[in-house]
């Protein structure tokens, strides 16, 4: 099996034609203080390419930033900013889309949880609690798709 190549919006043809849409001016910034060792950062830098419509996120890493785009629309929802450290990197902030025409969530705490959930589950292959109301499975499905079933885009397997 060949090693996985990093996600690159310029080379991916499976989604909207303009993958490098910038985060809109309507945004907020959330602070983090989450360290990642070099092994974890190697996985973060790979990002994630959706393989089917139930994969809701396209993630790619460039210039110490991890971009989180919705796979159907190409809208940039989150941009996580990392600072290099001696043994990896530190997630220091994330910019969150607050344009209601692109993204309707307004709860900073939810978005902070979602950023960490997507990194942990989608990129680092760890178990995690899905952010959101467990009594609203439709909203969870629209947020994370088949991740809620334990399936990942890169291998399609159940965990």
50-73 per-position pLDDT tens digit: 876 777 888 999 999 999 998 878
Q: Which of 48-52, 106-110, 137-141 has the highest mean pLDDT?
A: 106-110
Listed in sequence order, the residues at least 6 apart from 23 whose beta carbon sits closer than 8 Å to its beta carbon are 76, 79, 95, 97
DSSP of 44-112: HHH-B---STT--EEEEEETTEEEEEETTT--EEEEEEEEEETTEEEEEEEEEE--TTT-----HHHHH
Identify the burial level of 18 via C-beta atoms within 10 angstroms of its C-beta, where 0-12 means exposed, 13-18 middle and 19 or more buried: exposed
CA dist 152 and 159 (Å) reads 9
Nearest Cα to Cα of residue 57 among 104, 17, 25, 19 = 19
Range with lowest mean pLDDT among 16-20, 54-58, 149-153 = 16-20
pLDDT band at 134 (very low <50, low <70, confident <90, very high): confident
* Average predicted confidence (pLDDT) for the chain: 84
Over residues 110-124, the mean pLDDT reads: 95
Would you say residue 40 has pLDDT above 70? yes
For residue 92, pLDDT over 90 is answered with yes
Which pTM was predicted? 0.86
């Amino acid at each position: 099996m060949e090693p996985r190549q990093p996600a690159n919006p310029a080379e991916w043809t499976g989604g909207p034609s303009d993958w490098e849409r910038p985060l809109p001016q309507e945004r907020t910034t959330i602070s983090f203080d989450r360290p990642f060792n070099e092994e974890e950062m190697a996985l973060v830098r790979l990002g994630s390419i959706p393989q089917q419509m139930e994969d809701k996120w396209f993630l790619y890493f460039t210039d110490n930033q991890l971009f989180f785009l919705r796979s159907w629309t190409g809208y940039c929802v989150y941009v996580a900013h990392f600072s290099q450290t001696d043994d990896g990197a530190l997630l220091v902030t994330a910019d969150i889309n607050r344009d209601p025409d692109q993204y309707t969530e307004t709860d900073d705490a939810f978005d902070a949880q979602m950023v960490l959930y997507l990194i942990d589950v989608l990129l680092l292959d760890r178990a995690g609690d899905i952010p959101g109301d467990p009594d609203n499975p439709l909203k969870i499905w629209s947020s994370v798709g088949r991740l809620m079933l334990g399936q990942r885009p890169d291998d399609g397997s159940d965990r």
